[in-house]
Amino acid sequence: MASISIQHLYKRYGKDKQNVVDDFHLDIRDKEFLVFVGPSGCGKSTTLRMIAGLEDITEGEVYIGEQLVNDLPPKDRDIAMVFQNYALYPNMSVYENIAFGLRLRKQPRHEIDLAVRRAARVLEIEPYLNRKPKELSGGQRQRVALGRAIVRDPKVFLMDEPLSNLDAKLRVQMRMELIKLHKSLGATFIYVTHDQIEAMTMADRIVVMKDGIIQQIDTPEAVYQTPSNTFVASFIGSPQINFVEGKIVEEPGGNLLFNTSRFGLRIPKDSADLLRKHNKIGRRITLGIRPEHIGPEGLYSDSVLTGIYKVSELMGADRFLHLDIGQDKPLVVRVEAYYRCEENEKLRIVMDMSKALFFDADTGQRLTH
């Protein structure tokens, strides 16, 4: 069993009172692919290194399986780590690079051979076993680094931005290979990245972090569709979710409207009920809507507004229009690639208000759905 339980984990450096990791609390299931994601400096690597035993724990407990590992040296934790900067031994062959850790452990020669060949087969680097690292591409070298981890047959793999040094195309390919690898090895993976696309494509569950604090732990779908706050909503998804600042008002008939100085949008009943419950009538509120839930008039009923076209980004199949709607930031709308308009043209657009999220304007916490 390689479930991992992280209980109220804290990290403070030196005499600094600041929590670099702040009450990190999480149970990771056996064989789960878990991803820590967040901006640079949010404490992802520090948390991972405390799980690995490479960093002292200031407060809290880490269990691997049933065992408390706080005081266990890294080599006794049945884990393997893969880093962004994997240093291969330049004078050793690929075979020897992969075998190195096992030789240090004085494993019998035939066992080492079996383990190296099995790892090479899984990673599809068998033809290169006799080459030196400099005779390999970046992706092949990264696979050798993975091979060194795999031969140890650990229960837990800890990976810290292992694909960051690869070019974009190779990163996409290696992403898929890591998913396959995870399935075939049947081990628990904790994977650290600042790249929300890596998190979305690979994770069973995502842990979104900011300033050492967990913001949300959820499946990729849930993190995207029901982000816990404006930080998660804007960190996950590309292009970013749109935020529109406005005020909740009640119409004479009892319906709620989201009002800005330029337009008013009818709020669906289930969201309206929750906004009422939170006493938000007459209050400022932040509406969040993703670019794919806005479109040219006719797509959805109600909720028409006018935007002034400024620029667009062609993404191949889609085009993202940037429209001025009288807010600090333009509203980004996803349309078909062939859609054309003139600069400063007035466009009538609609929002699918059933997909709109409402956030507290002060705290950023999600209030609806």
Binding site residues, ligand ADP, CB under 6 A = 13, 20, 38, 40-46
Return the range that interacts with Mg ion (CB under 5 A); candidates 37-45, 50-58, 82-90, 202-210: 37-45
Distance of CA 60 to the CA centre of its chain: 24
Rounded Cα gap, residues 241 and 221, in angstroms: 15
DSSP codes of every residue in 296-358: ETTSSSS-EEEEEEEEEEE-SSEEEEEEE-SSSSPEEEEEETT----TT-EEEEEE-GGG-EE
Rounded Cα gap, residues 55 and 57, in angstroms: 6
CB of 46 to ligand ADP, least distance (A): 3
Residue 43 vs 133, nearer CB to Mg ion: 43
3-state secondary structure of 44: helix
Residue nearest to Mg ion (CB): 45
Q: Does 286 bind Mg ion (CB under 5 A)?
A: no
3-state secondary structure of 197: helix
Strand positions, DSSP E, the chain: 4-11, 21-28, 33-37, 59-64, 67-68, 79-83, 156-160, 188-193, 205-210, 213-218, 242-250, 256-259, 264-266, 284-289, 294-296, 304-314, 318-324, 331-336, 346-351, 357-360
Residue 42 vs 112, nearer CB to ligand ADP: 42
Q: Which one of Mg ion, ligand ADP, none is in contact with 13 (Cβ closer than 5 to 8 A by kind)?
A: ligand ADP
Q: Does 47 bind Mg ion (CB under 5 A)?
A: no
Size of the site for Mg ion (CB under 5 A): 1
Tokens read off for 217: 């732990």
Residue 43 vs 288, nearer CB to ligand ADP: 43
Q: At what angle do helices 94-104 and 138-150 cross, to 10 degrees?
A: 20
Residue 113 vs 195, nearer CB to ligand ADP: 195
Return the range that interacts with Mg ion (CB under 5 A); candidates 1-9, 39-47, 117-125, 321-329: 39-47
CB of 4 to Mg ion, least distance (A): 19
Q: Which of 21, 36, 45, 267 lies at the binding interface for Mg ion (CB under 5 A)?
A: 45
Residue 99 vs 199, nearer CB to Mg ion: 199
CB of 47 to ligand ADP, least distance (A): 7
Q: Are 187 and 155 in contact (CB under 8 A)?
A: yes
CB of 32 to ligand ADP, least distance (A): 20
Residue 38 vs 288, nearer CB to ligand ADP: 38
Residues at the interface with Mg ion (CB under 5 A): 45
